[in-house]
Amino acid sequence: MKERRIDLPMSIRIITDSTCDLSLSQLQELDIECIPLSVYFGEEQYLDKVELSPEAFYQKLSQSHDLPTTSQLNPEAFIARFQPELEQGHEIVGIFLSSRLSGTFQSAVIAKEQLQSDKIHLVDTMNVSFGNVLLLRHAAKLRDEGKSAEEICQALDSIKDRLAVYGVVATLKYLHKGGRLSASAAAVGTMLQLKPIVGIKDGAVVSVSKSRGYKSAFRHLVHLLEREPADPQYGFAFAHANAPEAVPDLISAISAHCSVEPYILCDVGPVIGTHTGPGCVGFAYVKAE
């Protein structure tokens, strides 16, 4: 784990939510605070990654007859995290999942209004999971370079629309049952038992294509990358939902066409895994201008 630079001012605190799917150790390395959402198996509540690891979640998911549910963060959760930081004289850069996927961002807005502080700066990423990983890593880099909170937010706003996020999922039934994808789009995943490819567009999950098996899907992802090349300064993020064996092949397919360094690898955690189900594997990058 890298050491934090002690000569930099630590007046800016970056706060995110657990749907970013960075592990606790990765968050610590980046010096980013995380507020966990909750996952419910029946009446049992678990804090995302705090009380339920990705490994334990997929084990429970495989044994559960009913789909788990998730809940958004409420304004009180944000106030409880924001207020101590403000009292210590810190400015806050809050980087949260798409407002089109959850009411969590709106809860952060309400918390800011209730605290009546101009030291809280909020970014609606219009993205989620490993897409947000790249924004968070860039925000941490800018903070460590001594950029102001306003400069960090402006930089993120300037690149978030260039994020390309694609995932191959085993089935779309979880996205459909979780209300994240329409019935017509979900039907694509059941036709001919194909592996659907999904992406994030305008802050929402969309169906991109369908393929037979991971290898065919990865070839299609390479075509998408060739059509919209990556900006090399931001690197890549790769992720999987209980499918680690598929990641090396994906990294190999992408790296045959461009450098993926510096890349970061993440586990799709309980909240996002509730909607994707097991078997999802994907990547994110920032498109070149």
Q: What is the DSSP letter of 101?
A: T
Q: Identify the pLDDT of residue 213.
A: 80
For the beta sheet containing 33-35, the strands, ordered from the edge strand earlier in sequence to the opposite edge, are 33-35, 12-17, 91-96, 120-124
Residue/partner pairs of 158-161 with CB below 8 Å, 24 or more apart: 159/135, 159/234, 159/286, 160/123, 160/125, 160/126, 160/127, 160/135, 161/126
DSSP conformation letters of 161-192: GGEEEEEE-S-SHHHHHTTSS-HHHHHHHHGG
Q: For 128-142, how does the pLDDT look when each residue is reduced to its tens digit (9 = 90+)?
A: 999 999 999 999 999
- How far is 262 from 225, CA to CA, in rounded Å? 17
| Of the candidates 199, 174, 238, the residue with the CA atom closest to the CA atom of residue 22 | 238
Phi, psi dihedral angles at 127 (to 5 degrees): -155, -175
The answer on pLDDT for 177 being more than 70 is no
Inter-residue contact 196 to 180 (CB < 8 Å): no
**pLDDT tens-digit series, residues 59-80:** 999 898 888 999 999 999 999 9
pLDDT value, residue 192: 53
pTM: 0.90
- Beta pairing partners, 265: 238
Distance CA 47, CA 93 (A): 22
pLDDT for the residue numbered 129: 96
| pLDDT above 50: residue 244 | yes
What element of type H or E holds 219? helix 213-227
pLDDT tens per residue, range 192-228: 557 889 999 999 988 898 888 888 999 999 999 999 9
Range 87-105 average pLDDT: 96
pLDDT of residue 275: 85
Q: Are 216 and 116 in contact (CB under 8 A)?
A: no
Given a cut of 90, is residue 181 above it in pLDDT? Answer: no
Task: Using the structure block, give the residue that is written with the tokens 């995943």.
Answer: 189
Q: Which residue has the tokens 């890549």?
A: 236
Residue 112 has pLDDT above 60, yes or no: yes
In this prediction, residue 2 has a pLDDT band, given cuts at 50, 70 and 90, of very low
Q: What is the mean pLDDT of residues 86-114?
A: 97
pLDDT of amino acid 176? 65
Q: What is the pLDDT of residue 214?
A: 85
* Per-residue confidence (pLDDT) for residue 8, from 0 to 100: 41
